[in-house]
C-alpha cells in the first residue's frame, strides 16, 4: 500500500488567512507557498549540516547559527523562546505572542545564542520589531471588522502552525515532510525540529507579507512613475515599502470580498527576492545557499 503523502496545505491556508489573506485562500497559491517553504527548509537543513560535527546529525545550534547575520530575526526568535517558556506551550503560537520581557530564558538554545552574541545585540529586545508591529496592526484592523463568529475563526487561524501540539507524532510528521527518504542518514534532534517548525512558520508569514506589498504596489495607478514602482524592493530591503506612504489595504474585506493572494503575486515576490537591486556589494564573496531564505 502506497504511503500517503504528507502535506501542510490546511495549516498553511489558515496561516495565510491569519496574516491577512482572504479567509478562503487560493488552493493553487497555498500549494505554491507550501512548495517554496519546503524547498527553503531543505536548503536550510543542507546548509546547517555543513556545521554539524559529523555532517549527519542536525541540532538546533546549527540552525540558529544560520541566523547570525540578521539580528532582528534573531531577536524575534529570542522572544519566541521566552514566550514558549513563559506560556508553557510549544510551537502553537510561534513568534506571535508579544509580552514584556523582563528576563531571558536560559534553555539550551538560549545558552547557545548568548555564546555567539559577542555584542549583546541578539538579546537586546528594547528595539521595536517593525515587521512584527506591522503584522499586529494588520491583524488588529482585520479583527475590528469581524463579528464574533468570524473573530473566533480568525483567532484559530492566527494560532495555526507547523506543530500545533508538541508531540513526537507531530514532530515526526514534520521530519518526514522535510526528509521523506526512509533511508536518509540525517538525524534530526528534537530541538532542531522545533526550530524548523519556527522557520517554516516565519517563511509563510513573510511570503504573505510580501505578497500583500506586491498587491499594494500594483494599486499605485495614480503614480506617474508606476513603471518603476517596486524598484526599491530587494531581498534585504523588502519591508521598507511600508515607509513610502502607500495607503493601507481595506482589511475589512478579508471576509467580505477581498480576492485571495494569487499565484502570480507569489511568483512576483520570488522574482523580486531572487533578483535584488543591482549594486549590492558582497566584496567578491560567494553568497550562501540560504541568502534568499525568508526565515533567515
Q: What is residue 242's predicted lDDT score, i.e. its pLDDT? A: 40
**Region for 189 from its dihedrals, namely left if φ exceeds 0, alpha if ψ lies in -120 to 50, beta otherwise:** beta
Q: What is residue 220's predicted lDDT score, i.e. its pLDDT? A: 63
| pTM exceeds 0.95, yes or no | no
225: which 3 cell numbers? 512613475
Using CA atoms, how far apart are residues 71 and 117, in angstroms rounded to an integer? 10
pLDDT digits (tens, 9 = 90+) for 246-291: 455 555 566 556 789 999 999 999 998 887 654 455 555 566 667 7
Mean per-residue pLDDT over the chain, rounded: 79
Q: What is residue 101's predicted lDDT score, i.e. its pLDDT? A: 46
Residue 172 inside a domain? The answer is yes
Residue 102 inside a domain? The answer is yes
Residue 171 inside a domain? The answer is yes
Residue 93 inside a domain? The answer is yes
Residues of the chain falling short of pLDDT 50:
1-2, 89-94, 97, 99-101, 224-246, 278-279
CA distances from 255 to 22, 108, 258, 279 (A): 6, 42, 7, 42
Residue 106 inside a domain? The answer is yes
The 3-state secondary structure of the chain reads CCCCCCCCHHHHHHHHHHCCCCCCCCHHHHHHHHHHHHHHHHHHHHHHHCCCCCCCEECHHHHHHCCCCCHHHHHHHHHHHHHHHHHCCCHHHCCCCCCCCCCCCCCHHHHHHHHHCCCCCCCCCCCCCHHHHHHHHHHHHHHHCCCHHHHHHHHHHHCCCCCCCCCHHHHHHHHHHHCCCCCCCCEECHHHHHHHHHHHHHHHHHHHHHHHHHHHHHCCCCCCCHHHCCCCCCCCCHHHHHHHCCCCCCHHHHHCCCCCCCHHHHHHHHHHHHCCCCCCCCCCCCCCCCCCCCCC
pLDDT digits (tens, 9 = 90+) for 211-235: 998 888 877 655 544 444 443 333 3
Task: Tell the burial category of 142 from Cβ atoms under 10 Å away from its Cβ (0-12, 13-18, 19+).
Answer: buried
Q: In which domain, by residue range, is 93 found?
A: 9-205
Q: What is residue 105's predicted lDDT score, i.e. its pLDDT? A: 56
Using CA atoms, how far apart are residues 219 and 226, in angstroms rounded to an integer? 9
Q: How many domains does the chain have?
A: 1
Residue 256 inside a domain? The answer is no
Instruction: Check the CA dihedral 232-200-202-76 and report its sign.
Output: negative
DSSP bridge pairs for 188: 58
Residue 215 inside a domain? The answer is no
Per the CB < 8 A criterion, the answer to whether 21 and 260 are in contact is: yes
Residue 185 inside a domain? The answer is yes
Q: What is residue 3's predicted lDDT score, i.e. its pLDDT? A: 61
Q: What is residue 150's predicted lDDT score, i.e. its pLDDT? A: 87
Q: What is residue 183's predicted lDDT score, i.e. its pLDDT? A: 86
254: which 3 cell numbers? 478579508
Per the CB < 8 A criterion, the answer to whether 220 and 230 are in contact is: no
149: which 3 cell numbers? 463568529
Amino acid at each position: 500500500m502506497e504511503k500517503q503523502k504528507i502535506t501542510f496545505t490546511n495549516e498553511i491556508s489558515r496561516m495565510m488567512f491569519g496574516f491577512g489573506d482572504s479567509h478562503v485562500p487560493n488552493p493553487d497559491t497555498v500549494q505554491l507557498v507550501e512548495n517554496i517553504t519546503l524547498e527553503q527548509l531543505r536548503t536550510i537543513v543542507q546548509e546547517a549540516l555543513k556545521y554539524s560535527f559529523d555532517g549527519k546529525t542536525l541540532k538546533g545550534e546549527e540552525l540558529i547559527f544560520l541566523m547570525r547575520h540578521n539580528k532582528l530575526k534573531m531577536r524575534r526568535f529570542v522572544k519566541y523562546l521566552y514566550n514558549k517558556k513563559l506560556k508553557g506551550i510549544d510551537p502553537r503560537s510561534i513568534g506571535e505572542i508579544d509580552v514584556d520581557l523582563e528576563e531571558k530564558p536560559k534553555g539550551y538554545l538560549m545558552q547557545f545564542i548568548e555564546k555567539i552574541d559577542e555584542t549583546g545585540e541578539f538579546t537586546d529586545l528594547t528595539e521595536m520589531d517593525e515587521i512584527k508591529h506591522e503584522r499586529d496592526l494588520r491583524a488588529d484592523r482585520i479583527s475590528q471588522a469581524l463579528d464574533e463568529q468570524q473573530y473566533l475563526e480568525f483567532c484559530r487561524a492566527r494560532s495555526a502552525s507547523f506543530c500545533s501540539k508538541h508531540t513526537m507524532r507531530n514532530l515526526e510528521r514534520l521530519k518526514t515532510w522535510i526528509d521523506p527518504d526512509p533511508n536518509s542518514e540525517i538525524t534530526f534532534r528534537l530541538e532542531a525540529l522545533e526550530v524548523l517548525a519556527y522557520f517554516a512558520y516565519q517563511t509563510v508569514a513573510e511570503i504573505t507579507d510580501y505578497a500583500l506589498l506586491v498587491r499594494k504596489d500594483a494599486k499605485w495607478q495614480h503614480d506617474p512613475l508606476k513603471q518603476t514602482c517596486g524598484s526599491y524592493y530587494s531581498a534585504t530591503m523588502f519591508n521598507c515599502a511600508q515607509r513610502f506612504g502607500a495607503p493601507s489595504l481595506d482589511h475589512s474585506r478579508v471576509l467580505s470580498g477581498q480576492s485571495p493572494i494569487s499565484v502570480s503575486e507569489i511568483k512576483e515576490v520570488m522574482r523580486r527576492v531572487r533578483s535584488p537591486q543591482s549594486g549590492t556589494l558582497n566584496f567578491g564573496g560567494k553568497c550562501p545557499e540560504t541568502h534568499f531564505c525568508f526565515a533567515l
